[in-house]
Structure formats: structure tokens, C-alpha cells
Chains A and B, each alone.
Chain A
Amino acid sequence: MTSAPATQDLALSARGVRMEYLDRGTRERFVAIDSLDLDIKQGEFVTIVGPSGCGKSTFVKLVNGLLSATEGEILVRSVAKGKSDAMVFQDSALFPWYKIIDNVSYGLVCAGVSKKQAHERAMPLIKLVGLGGFENKYPYQLSGGMQQRANLARALCVDPAILLMDEPFAALDAQTREVMQAELLRIWRGAEAEGGARKTVLFITHQIEEAVFLSDRVIVMSARPGRIMEDIRIDLPRPRDLHVKRTPEFQEYQEQIWQLIASQLKAAASQFGGSTE
């Protein structure tokens, strides 16, 4: 790294990331992400928004190591204890054959912690996400919102330096979604109170309102190939509750981001002369 700014308080640093896919059908290469630079400070809540297919999900998978980039590098701060990152996946990502407690402690068991100890460490997190008393239930016995709480607890359980969240609330109904957004902020603060350092969060969504409500920074990505168009700091006071969505400042942020994305959709529509989806 040649860049001057103090790297020790960075949780993530991406430089010149490019990701190409080979379409198996047409044998054509297409670029999902192009020359992406991104720094995330420790303890920051950063959200990436962008039109469908802009490579947001691809980017978190690159950070998580599930995919490897064609070019560029992604540095994730390594931590002494726990994992450096953990992912909260989209809907129905729990293992249906495990009880909630076994799902939540999965990452610890994978890391070699004994089952008994892993269960002991999982319990406080199950309580933190509001699932106390449900630890011996199977996922099918829980509602969608509760399943996503368990999903979140599973990621928090490995005590990651960065929490990656790939559209975790996309499959929830509108009301549950709002509740879960407020809950996420509460849990974020709760985890801070318990674990000391504030968790860094990289959140992916296509919902502008969700992005503004949750984040310290919103990164707006362009249509494919995905590039960073704008990096917007959200200066709304914390702790936030759902009332903040009614304030004019909130509406302004929303409007600003919407304009950026709309311009992308229009560009894409004129380029392909068809649907923007």
C-alpha cells in the first residue's frame, strides 16, 4: 500500500478491484465490477446501493473470499481473536437440519471450538437478537424475521472485525423489514456494549431508504460494470429510531441518491433499448 493515510484504523481497503465473469452460455466475458476503490474505517456502517446487477453482491463475496477478483486487491484487517469477517446471507440461509443454537454456533464449531463451549458463547447473542427461549427450535418453526435474527446472531457469534450483510432483509415484508432495521441498529450498539470495539458493517441493499437509515456512509454504484459513483456521508444523529425517516434531512438524502440511481437506470435503458431490470 502506497497511500499515505493511516492504515491502522482501516477495517477494509480495496484497490483497483475488477471482476470478470465468463458467461457459460454465450462464452462471453462480462465485467461485473471495474476499478473499484473503497476504504472503510473501523466501526463504520457503510452501505452499498445500486441498480440490480451492478455487482454489489459480487463485491461482498470478494471481501468474504467466496470469489477471487480478476484484478486488484482487497485488504481486510486481521484481528487477534475471532474471524476477520462474517456474512449475513439473504433469506432462508439457516441450515434447516440444525436447531437455532447449532446454527448460531456453527462458525465457532467450524473454527474448532467444542460444541459445549460454542453453545455457551452463542447464548448471549441469541438473547441479544431477541430469540431467547427459541434456541432449541428448528428454523421452520420460526417466522422469516426471526430466522434473519438468527442469521445475524450466527455472523456475530464468530466476533468478526467486519460484518458483511448481503440484502439480509430483502425477503421480509415491509413492516417486519422496518422493525428489523431498527433492531439491527439496536443490536449493533448492543454488540458494541458487549464486545468493546464497535463492529464495522458493510451492508448491501437496493433500498435507498434502508441505506440512509442505517448508514454512516452510502456508496452509490453505477450500472454494470459496477463502479463507485458517489460516496455520501449521512450526517444524521445517532442513536436513530424510525422517526428519523420523517425528517426533511432524511428525505433530502433519499432524493439525492435516487437521482443518481435514476440517471443510471435511464442510461442503461437507452443503451440496451429495453427493460432496466
Chain B
Amino acid sequence: MTVAAPAMTSRGPERSRRRIKIPNERLFYAVLGFVGLLVIWELASNFDLDPETPGTQGLVKRILMSAPTLIWNAGIEDFSSGVIWPHIAISLQEWFYGFIISCFLGITLGLSLGWFRRFRLATQPLVSALYSTPTIALFPLIVLIAGIGLESKVILVVLASIFAVIINTMVGVQSVSWKHLEIASSFGASQTQIVRSVVLPTTIPFILTGVRLAAGRSLVGVVVAEFQAANQGVGFYIALNGQTLNTARVFIGLLLLGGFGIFVGELVRLVENRFDAWRPSIHR
């Protein structure tokens, strides 16, 4: 064997071994992006064009946009003194009651609207009208009826979120395949068995989409209601600190809302994944 073999480069597993393996890629890049943003924000807010008037003329005006370190310090202050806890507690309460009522009432109504055609026809105009009315426009009326306490806020939260559940559930029931119903009855399934083996499995992914949307809309409802008439709650905390130019605390409120929104969204996603085992995975 005297003929020299042509030089060959190695492909396949050999090459990829050189790369650093990141255990949780999704989390890693999410954190990287977030930290990067904080660093840029902090640097930009400390870059003053005119040293005489700090915080008012920079690339990012500290007085309006605050800075990560300022937010951090204000956060430590409010959490350790405890002034923020009642706001969080009351908002959580409003959100929780509103969201739970929306889910239960919305799923029940959505199932009946999808299943009973005449019921759907009779209530469709009302549902569409309520759905298209901006919820906030109803708030003065709600306050007149239910006062400015917890009740009026829960009602607004329900109105803001229930239609997402109702409409998604209804569409889910309507997308039950005629063929699957036929198969179930050909095997002698009872009404209850048909609901359990055909209607619910088809509808659950739709319901969960509605629930995920409702979780976010409920949060919007909470904030909107607290902007309007409240003396407690995260929405009130944001509004108050905004009016007094205390922007660091406005950001604390925003972070609380954003973090909570992500948390609940991920929670519903976990439930969705559990029910999605039978689907070919597209994005997992």
C-alpha cells in the first residue's frame, strides 16, 4: 500500500463532541438574554451626557426609566419593610377568585353552548355583544351594583376572562368528529361514555387554551380594576408610584405581574403537555 489516501475530514459525532454541552439550552439562553438586557439598561442609565443634572439627560433617563440597581434597592426596601405584601395578597385574591369562577362557569357554559344547538342560537347575540364590549366600559355599572370592594373587582376579572374559556370550549365541542360519535354509538356507548370517551378528549386541548388565555386576561382585569377604584393591590401600587414619579417601584409592580403571568402560563402548559401525549409532537 504505497498510494497515499486522500485527506479526509471527519464528519458526524466526532465534530459535535468538541462543542460545550449546555444542559438546559432553553433556560440558559433565556437567562442570558435577560441578564444582557439588565446590564445594557444599567450601563445606559449611568451614562450621563450632562454631569450637572444626573439622571435627566442620559441615553436612558434614570428619572423616567429607573435602573436595575435602583429597582433592586427599592424592592429590598419594600419587601423587608413589608409594605408590599398586602398589595400582593389582595391582587392574588382578586385574580384567584375571578380566574376560578371564569374557568368553572366558562367551561360549563361553553360545553352547553357547544352541545345544545338551540341554547347556542338563543344566546349567541348576547354572548357576542358582551364579548365585543370593552370590559372596562362596564366597570362604572359594576361599581354601582357591587360597590368598590373585592366583589366588583372579581366581577370585572370574570368578565375580562370568561369569554376566552366559553368560546374556546364551545369551538372544542363543535369540533367533535361525527365519525367518532358514530363509532362510539356503534359499540353501544352510553351518553356518559360518549362524553367521557369522545367529547372530553376532543375538547380538553381547546379548554386548556381557553384557560391559558383566561389566566392572562384575569391579570389584566385585576390591574384595570385596581387602576379605577382601589386603595390596595399591585395595580394600585403601580398607579400610585407612577403618579409620584417613583419609577423604580412602578417597575417592581411590572416585574411582579410579568413574573406571575409567566409562572401561571407555564403551569397551564405543564397540564397541557400531560394531555397531549396522544398527539404527534410538533414543538417539543
Contacts and interface: CB of A to CB of B under 8 A. Distances in A.
Contacts of B182: 66, 89
B278 A98 contact: yes
Interface in A147-174: 158
Interface string A130-142: 0000000011100
Interface in A229-262: none
A98 B193 CA distance: 14
Interface in B195-235: 197-198, 201-202
Interface of B, secondary structure class, is helix
B186 interface: yes
A106 B179 contact: no
Nearest to A106: B187
A218 B144 CA distance: 77
A81 B140 CA distance: 67
A155 to B, nearest CB: 9
A97 B278 contact: yes
B278 A110 contact: no
Nearest to A107: B187
Contacts of A97: 201-202, 278
Contacts of A65: 186
Interface residues of A, number: 22
A188 interface: no
B188 A95 contact: no
Given A89-B179, A93-B183, A110 B201 contact: no
Interface in A53-91: 64-66, 83, 86-87, 89
Interface string A98-126: 11000000110111000000000000000
A138 B277 contact: yes
B188 A96 contact: no
A96 B204 CA distance: 13
A139 B202 CA distance: 15
B178 to A, nearest CB: 11
Nearest to A91: B179
B278 A64 contact: no
A86 B186 contact: yes
Nearest to B280: A140
B98 to A, nearest CB: 31
A110 B189 CA distance: 5
Nearest to A87: B186
B188 A110 contact: yes
A95 B198 CA distance: 8
Contacts of B201: 95, 97-98
A143 to B, nearest CB: 13
A66 B186 CA distance: 6
B179 A140 contact: no
Contacts of B280: 140
Interface string A259-275: 00000000000000000
28 contacts: A64-B186, A66-B182, A83-B187, A83-B188, A86-B186, A87-B186, A89-B182, A89-B183, A89-B186, A93-B179, A93-B183, A95-B180, A95-B183, A95-B201, A96-B278, A97-B201, A98-B197, A98-B201, A106-B187, A106-B197, A107-B187, A107-B188, A110-B187, A111-B188, A139-B278, A140-B279, A140-B280, A158-B187
Interface of B: 179-180, 182-190, 193, 197-198, 201-202, 277-280
Closest 7 interchain pairs by CB? A97-B201, A107-B187, A97-B278, A110-B189, A138-B278, A110-B187, A87-B186
